[in-house]
Amino acid sequence: MPDLLVIVLKLLAVAAGFAVLPLLIGQAEHKVMAHMQGRLGPMYAGAFHGWAQLVADGVKFAQKEDVVPAAADRRIFKLAPGVALVPYLLVLLVVPVGPHGQVALDLGPGLFFALAVMGVGVIGAIMAGWSSANKYALLGGMRVAAQLMSYELPMVFAASSAAMAAGTLSLSGIVEEWHWWWLPWQAVGAAVFFVAGLAELRRPPFDMPVADSEIIFGPYTEYGGLRFAFFLLAEYAGILVLCALTTVLFLGGWRGPFLDTELGWLWTLVKVFALAFVVIWVRVSYPRMREDQLQRLAWAWLVPLSLAQLALTGAVRVLAA
Amino acid sequence: MGAVGRLPGGGLAKGLAVTLRTMTRRSVTRQYPEVPPDLAPRSRGVIALLEENCTVCMLCARECPDWCIYIDSHKETLPAEGGGRARTRNVLDRFAIDFALCMYCGICIEVCPFDALFWTPEFEYAEYDVNELTHEKERLREWMWTVPPPQAPDASGEPPKEIAAAEKAAARAARRPGGGSA
């Protein structure tokens, strides 16, 4: 019976994290981006520095009419936001936040599961682009597909480098094996993983598929109301998942300079939010990359770099053994 | 900074540095309705009329480039005290400025010989109806309460001509023996 209780509590914790942390990241994006541009950002909602802005946005989205274009593929169109959002919730299940089983589901091949499910999230955007019966949505969907094809490869290579270094596919296992000298050793892999993840989430500067000023938010052109809000939530949940995975694979998860066992979850959160800050920072600092530049970056830089990292990891493992 | 820009990837680092530095600075946003703006001294917000000083000389209305000042008046005859010719006096019936036309040049204020018109920094008098932008003399008189005191002269500036002339004359008189009388 206590086992069942523990499982329920863990699932509740994951659901709460999934509901709250993306909103925190979204609010941070509002405020950080504003201050990086010399503005204040939201100041009214919630009376204190606009803390309730995203709640207000949610209320607004919920009030809007649920529109499906006449020519749209109705079932796919309605399903797409769910397909975009739910995978990130599933990934959070296997991400360890602390030592000694502070994870909802300690999966043996956790890394494999996380990467596979994360890829499904992108399918949601492709479905949306295809089913909207809109040329901009279709263009965006195709670009999403092209981006997924090119960036999934270096991302998987970089992740497998971490798995190879640890000798396990279990996410908790990878953190257990982590040592500080992984930082220089796996630095290239970490950078490639993070950049490829950003591209897969279609975050600026890799947001060509949704380029709002060119193809009007791409796959999401025809969406409004709650379905659109789900896509936005999926983007922030995606940031959370990407930062959590980068933390676990390359930055040592719950490992910190002190109090690893007591404050492990806090170390994880601190690292996740530091990475989320970098995500926002990069978004504010760089202009959008052109479609051909995106492909070039993936194939001419990230893939060779991740392969080199893989070779380095393998060589060090063999020589050390 | 220049050396960083020339390294490979230095441009990327520079971009990140710019945004990070901007974040640590105070933002330039003004919280206008909550926090009143700090206006420059002598801001031209609206024109106030001190009706008591107006002699209906019509100079302001004539000089106005937009013809946005409307003045109506009539003459009153006052019997002179203790005999003599009766005196006539101008009485102001209407003085209105149409701020929909006004271009805030301030010529009327410059030209007024009797200090009846003043700038005030108040600017929040937008209306839903353009006709209500014509402020009649009662409203123009109300603006008088918002006229700021004149600015003190700049301590490091040149003294006014009158004072300089008076000081020069005093110095000359002091130099001349015998108190200065010829």
Cα-to-chain-centroid distance, residue A93: 14
Residue in chain A lying closest to B14 (CA): A285
Is residue A137 within 8 A of residue A218, CB to CB? The reply is: yes
Return the higher-pLDDT residue of B181 and B43: B43
Decide if B22 and A39 are in contact by the 8 Å CB cutoff.
no
ipTM of the complex: 0.72
pLDDT band of residue B182 (cuts 50, 70, 90) is very low
Q: Is the dihedral of CA A183, A188, A191, A196 positive or negative?
A: negative
Query: Cis bond leading into A205, ω under 30°?
Result: yes
CB contacts < 8 Å between A and B, how many?
Answer: 35
What pLDDT is recorded for position A212?
Answer: 79
| A289 DSSP 8-state letter | P
pLDDT at B83 over 60: yes
- What pLDDT score does A321 carry? 75
Nearest residue in chain B measured CA to CA from A278? B16
> Please, what's the b/e burial string for A234-259 (b: 16 or more CB within 10 A of its CB; e: otherwise)?
bbbbbbbbbbbbbbbbbbbbbbeeee
As a dihedral over the C-alpha atoms of residue A5, residue A6, residue A9, residue A15, rounded to 10 degrees, the angle is -120
3-state secondary structure chain B: CHHHHHCCCHHHHHHHHHHHHHHHCCCCCCCCCCCCCCCCCCCCCEEEECHHHCCCCCHHHHHCCCCCEEEEEEEEEECCCCCCCCEEEEEEEEEEEECCCCCCCCHHHHHCCCCCEEEECCCCCCCCCHHHHEECHHHHHHHHHHCCCCCCCCCCCCCCHHHHHHHHHHHHHHHCCCCCCC
Contacts of A35 in chain B (CB under 8 A): 22-23, 27
A243 touches A279 (CB < 8 A): yes
Residues of B in contact with A43 (CB under 8 A): 31
Could you write out the DSSP letters of every residue in A164-233?
A: HHHT-S-HHHHHHH--TTHHHHTHHHHHHHHHHHHHHTT-TTS-TTT-HHHHTTGGGTT--HHHHHHHHH
Confidence band of A194 (pLDDT split at 50, 70, 90): very high
Closest residue in A to B17 (Cα) is: A285
Residue B134 Ramachandran class (φ > 0 left, ψ -120 to 50 alpha, else beta): beta
E strand or H helix at A58: helix A53-63
- The arithmetic mean of pLDDT across residues B31-37, rounded, is 87
Mean pLDDT of chain B: 86
- Of A101-110, B46-55, B132-141, the least confident: A101-110
Contacts of A39 in chain B (CB under 8 A): 27-29
Which residues from A are below 8 Å from B when comparing CB atoms? Answer: 32, 34-40, 43, 281-282, 284-286
What is the per-residue pLDDT across A67-96, written as a single tens digit (0 to 9) for each? 888 888 889 888 999 898 899 988 888 888
Average pLDDT over residues B148-175: 86
pLDDT at B3: 66
What average pLDDT score do residues A8-12 get?
Answer: 85
The per-residue pLDDT for B178 is 63
Per residue in A113-142, pLDDT (tens digit) is 988 888 888 888 889 888 988 888 888 888
Q: Mean of the pLDDT values across residues B29-58?
A: 88
**Each residue of A196-215: pLDDT tens digit?**
999 888 888 888 888 878 88
Instruction: Look at residue A149 in the predicted model and tell me its pLDDT.
Output: 84
Please report how many Cα atoms fall inside a 13 Å half-sphere around the Cα of residue A125, on the Cβ side.
Answer: 30
Least confident of A10-14, A62-66, B7-11: B7-11
pLDDT tens profile A262-295: 777 888 888 999 999 999 999 999 888 888 888 8
What is the overall mean pLDDT for chain A? Answer: 87
User: Which residue of chain B is at minimal alpha-carbon distance from A39?
Assistant: B27
Substitution target in B24, B29, B31 with the highest count of A β-carbons within 10 Å is: B29
Question: What integer pLDDT is reported at residue A6 of this predicted model?
Answer: 81
* Per-residue tokens: B156: 């490091």
- When CB atoms are compared, the residue of A38, A285, A286 closest to B28 is A38
**What are the tokens at B83?**
């005999």
Percent of chain A at pLDDT > 70 equals: 99
- Distance separating alpha carbons of residues A167 and A190, to the nearest angstrom: 17
pLDDT for the residue A1: 59
Per-residue model confidence as pLDDT tens digits over B91-113 = 999 999 999 999 999 999 999 99
Strands B69-78 and B134-135: unpaired
The predicted model gives B140-154 an average pLDDT of 87
| Ramachandran category for residue B48: left, alpha or beta (phi over 0 → left; psi -120 to 50 → alpha) | beta
Distance from CA of A175 to the nearest CA of B (A): 30
Contact between A237 and A195 (Cβ < 8 Å)? no
| Å between B65 CA and nearest CA of chain A | 40
User: Measured between alpha carbons, how far is A164 from A174 in angstroms, rounded to an integer?
Assistant: 9
The structural domains of chain B, ordered by start, are 46-146 (3.30.70.3270)
**Alpha carbons B141 and B181: distance in angstroms, whole number:** 50
Q: Is B180 left (phi over 0), alpha (psi -120 to 50) or beta?
A: left
- Residue B16 and residue A35: Cβ atoms within 8 Å? no
Q: Which chain A residue has the Cα nearest residue B26? A: A38
Closest by CA position to A244, among listed A26, A10, A88:
A88
Whether residues B29 and A38 touch (CB distance < 8 A) is answered with: yes
